[in-house]
Amino acid sequence: MRFFRRSLTGLMLLAVTLALLGFAAHLLLSASRKAAEAGSVGRPQQERVIAANVVKITPGQIEPVLTAFGEIRAQRSLEIRAPRAGSILWVSENFKDGAEVAAGALILRFDPADAAAELALAGADLDARAADLAEAKAAISLATDDLAAAVRQAQLRDQAMARQEDLAARGVGSAAAVETAALAASGAEQAVLTRRQALQRAKADVQSAAASLQRQRITHAEAERRLAETEVLAEFSGRVDAASVAVGGTVGTNEVLGRIIDSTALEVAFRLSTAQYSLMLDAQGTLIRAPLTVSIGPGSPVTEGRVDRVGAAVGEGQTGRLIYATLGAAEGLRPGDFVTVELREPVLEAAAMLPATALGPGGVLVLGAEDRLEEMAVIALRRQGDEVIIAAAALAGREVVRERSTLLGAGIRITPVRSSAGAVADAEAEVGALTPPSPDSGG
């Protein structure tokens, strides 16, 4: 029991001794560290200078280019339709998809047998109506002569009655003779009236025959037109599209047989947003007839054109405005082509073009005194691809950073790179450049 108590006392003394030794070692280590820190001289922190590309701003006139996408359409096209039902007798070799036809060229011929027969019948009827008119005119001449004879006879009867009345008045003639002469004069007068009625009927017959002849002339002209419609001619030069006809085929009235498209009269339809459309209006709110270029893709021929008109309605489910522009000689373009449209906007005064990377939320970074950057607010007039057009009157002669980064900001000192070697500037911007160490830095 005594041995056990002495062993515990010895262990306690050993633990206290070890704790004191550890505490002393900690005090010594802390003292030596503080002494080392107190005896050393720290190096001053150096300012980091970033290399950045800058460009000098020279305000001037800039013509913005607005890019849109549109579809080529035909300004003039002609649908070939069957004027009447019938069979096709002949088809031109050029009446097939993609072939060119000249203005006035014969492209289709229908069977003309029925139309020719109708024309012959109409011609015979026309001759008959002409004969009827000639006969009616001759009847007028006869009726006129007959009326003249009746008038002369009535005059003679009147003279005879006057003579009998004179004789009766002198007591030579009789009352019966006077009455007989009066009856004869009345009959002659009645004959004159009858002849006048006959003349009026003859004149009416002439008018009726003339009207019938005119109607028959119209019928004859209609028959001629139907015979002419058996041959279909191209009204203008162009290319054939959607031709669906064969020799011997039977078609119905007004059936579509194909289409001719004038490849020299094309237009492009493209849609602009409401904001873009507002840029194309003059002071009176009229659409500017601005020039533009159209191309299918990079490296393809460029076709020039000019804005012509704007759509009358927005269209269901659409926004903005649909613009139509006429095109010049459009080689290689066809209706339905999807094209890129580059529209030239009105010229902007006192403007400058910068890369889009130069513009930040607060504006642009301008090179100031001691090559330190200053942030200046600017007005972005247009965004054009990877570039931006700004109002540059307040920046005339100043230098602006071309590419902003997280390392650049107001108050940062930079090494301006004014050459076009952008790759070198980018490499230096990543590594960074340090100022030489000060003489008292100890390094």
**Using one digit for the tens of pLDDT, what is the confidence trace for 14-23?**
888 888 888 8
Buried b (16+ CB within 10 A) or exposed e, 379-404: eebbebeeebbbbbeebeebbbbbbb
Same domain, 398 and 332: no
Of the pLDDT bands very low, low, confident and very high (cuts 50, 70, 90), residue 421 is very low
Angle, nearest 10°, between helix axes 113-169 and 175-228? 170
Q: Phi and psi for 377 in degrees, rounded to 5?
A: -75, 140
Same domain, 377 and 309: no
Of the pLDDT bands very low, low, confident and very high (cuts 50, 70, 90), residue 194 is confident
CATH of residue 407:
2.40.420.20
CATH of residue 223:
1.10.287.620
Q: Report if residue 340 sits inside a domain.
A: yes
Instruction: Please say if the pLDDT value at position 166 is more than 90.
Output: no
Q: Report if residue 22 sits inside a domain.
A: no
Q: Cα separation of 357 and 406, whole Å?
A: 12
Q: Report if residue 10 sits inside a domain.
A: no
Least Cα distance to 304 among 343, 270, 271, 335 occurs for 343
Same domain, 391 and 364: yes
Least Cα distance to 199 among 273, 280, 259, 140 occurs for 140
Same domain, 368 and 385: yes
Same domain, 118 and 196: yes
Residue 229 makes CB contacts below 8 A (sequence gap 6+) with 83, 84, 110, 115
Strands 303-310 and 321-327 come out as antiparallel
Same domain, 293 and 373: no
- CA distances to 125, 200, 271, 322, 429 from 311, rounded to whole Å, are 54, 64, 10, 5, 51
Do the beta carbons of residue 240 and residue 79 sit within 8 Å? Answer: no
CATH of residue 92:
2.40.50
- CA distances to 75, 77, 101, 140, 231 from 105, rounded to whole Å, are 21, 16, 7, 51, 10
Choose one of 344, 367, 392: the last residue of a domain. 344
Question: What are the residues facing 295 on neighbouring strands?
Answer: 340
131-137 — which CB contacts under 8 Å span 24+ positions?
Answer: 132/209, 132/212, 132/213, 133/206, 133/209, 133/210, 133/212, 133/213, 135/209, 136/202, 136/205, 136/206, 136/208, 136/209, 137/206
Q: Cα separation of 399 and 58, whole Å?
A: 9
Q: Which of 168-177, 332-341, 421-430 has the lowest mean pLDDT?
A: 421-430
Q: Report if residue 33 sits inside a domain.
A: no
For the chain, the C-alpha Rg in angstroms (whole number) is 55
Q: Report if residue 431 sits inside a domain.
A: yes
Average pLDDT over the chain reads 85
Position 179, amino acid:
E
DSSP state of 2: H
Same domain, 315 and 338: yes
Q: Report if residue 8 sits inside a domain.
A: no
Q: Report if residue 252 sits inside a domain.
A: yes
Residue 378, classed as helix, strand or coil, is: coil
Same domain, 297 and 334: yes
Question: How many separate domains does the chain show?
Answer: 4
CATH of residue 298:
2.40.30.170
Model pTM? Answer: 0.62
| Predicted local confidence at residue 156, as pLDDT | 82
| Predicted local confidence at residue 149, as pLDDT | 85
Q: Which residue has the tokens 């970074």?
A: 365
Same domain, 165 and 242: no
Sign of CA dihedral 292, 296, 297, 299: negative
Strands 414-417 and 60-62 come out as unpaired
Q: Pull the structure tokens for residue 82.
A: 């069957």
| Predicted local confidence at residue 439, as pLDDT | 40
Q: Which residue has the tokens 């299918």?
A: 296
Query: Containing domain of residue 390, as a range?
Result: 50-62+349-435
Same domain, 321 and 255: no
| Predicted local confidence at residue 95, as pLDDT | 92
Higher pLDDT, 5 or 37: 5
Choose one of 344, 367, 383: the last residue of a domain. 344
Higher pLDDT, 167 or 18: 18
Same domain, 220 and 84: no
78-125: per-residue pLDDT in tens?
A: 999 998 888 999 999 999 998 999 999 999 999 999 899 999 999 999
Q: Report if residue 202 sits inside a domain.
A: yes
Same domain, 317 and 256: no
- CA distances to 144, 146, 178, 184, 369 from 193, rounded to whole Å, are 12, 11, 23, 15, 125
